[in-house]
A and B are shown apart, each in its own frame.
Chain A
Amino acid sequence: MDLKDLYRDVILDHNRQPRNFGRLQPADAQAEGHNPLCGDRLTVFLRLDGERVADIRFEGKGCAISTASASLMTEAVRGRDRAAIRRLFDDVHGLLTGSGEHAAELALGKLAALGGVREFPARVKCASLCWHTLNAALAGGAAASTE
Chain B
Amino acid sequence: MNTAATDNLAGPRAAAARYDAARVRADFPILATRVHGRPLTYLDSAASAQRPLAVLRAVEQYETRTHANVHRGVHALSQAATAAYEGARERARRFINARSVREVIYVRGTTEAINLVAQSWARPRLGIGDEILISALEHHANIVPWQMVCEQTGCTLKVAPIDRRGEVIQEEFLKLLSRRTRLVALAHVSNALGTVLPIQQMIAAAHAHGACVLIDGAQAVPHLRVDVQALGADFYAFSGHKLYGPTGIGVLYGREELLDAMPPWQGGGDMILSVSFEKTTYNELPFKFEAGTPNISGSVGLAAAMDYLEGLGIEAVAAHEQALLQRATAELERLPDLTLVGTAPHKAAVLSFTMKDVHPHDLGTILDAEGVAIRTGHHCAMPVMTFFGLPATARASFACYNTFEDIERLLAALRRARAVFA
Contact = CB atoms under 8 A, between A and B. Distances in A.
Interface of A: 1, 3, 6-7, 12, 37-41, 61-65, 120, 122-123, 126
A68 to B, nearest CB: 10
Contact of B391 (A7, A12, A39): A39
A126 B36 CA distance: 21
A38 B365 contact: no
A30 B392 CA distance: 25
B362 interface: yes
Contacts of B36: 1
Given A1-B36, A64-B359, A39 B365 contact: no
Contacts of A12: 420-421
Nearest to A12: B421
A12 B365 CA distance: 14
A28 B385 CA distance: 33
Interface string B330-355: 00000000000000000000000000
B385 A39 contact: yes
B392 A65 contact: no
19 contacts: A1-B369, A3-B365, A3-B366, A7-B366, A7-B420, A7-B421, A38-B359, A38-B377, A39-B378, A39-B382, A39-B385, A39-B391, A63-B359, A64-B359, A64-B362, A64-B421, A65-B361, A122-B365, A123-B365
A3 B369 contact: yes
B376 interface: yes
A2 to B, nearest CB: 8
Interface string B188-230: 0000000000000000000000000000000000000000000
B365 to A, nearest CB: 6
A122 B368 CA distance: 11
Given A62-B359, A63-B359, A65-B362, A39 B421 contact: no
Contacts of B360: 38, 63
Nearest to A125: B361
Nearest to A38: B361
Q: Give the bracket for the number of chain B residues in contact with chain A.
A: 10 to 19
A63 B364 CA distance: 11
Interface in B7-58: 36
Going nearest first, the 3 A-B pairs with the smallest beta carbon separation are: A39-B391, A63-B359, A63-B361
A91 B392 CA distance: 30
A38 B421 contact: no
A113 to B, nearest CB: 15
A41 B361 contact: no
Given A38-B378, A61-B391, 20 more contacts: A1-B36, A3-B420, A6-B365, A7-B366, A38-B392, A39-B377, A39-B390, A39-B391, A41-B391, A62-B391, A63-B360, A63-B361, A64-B358, A64-B359, A64-B362, A64-B421, A65-B362, A120-B365, A122-B365, A126-B361
Nearest to A35: B361
A126 B360 CA distance: 12
Interface in B401-420: 420
A126 B361 CA distance: 9
Contacts of B390: 39
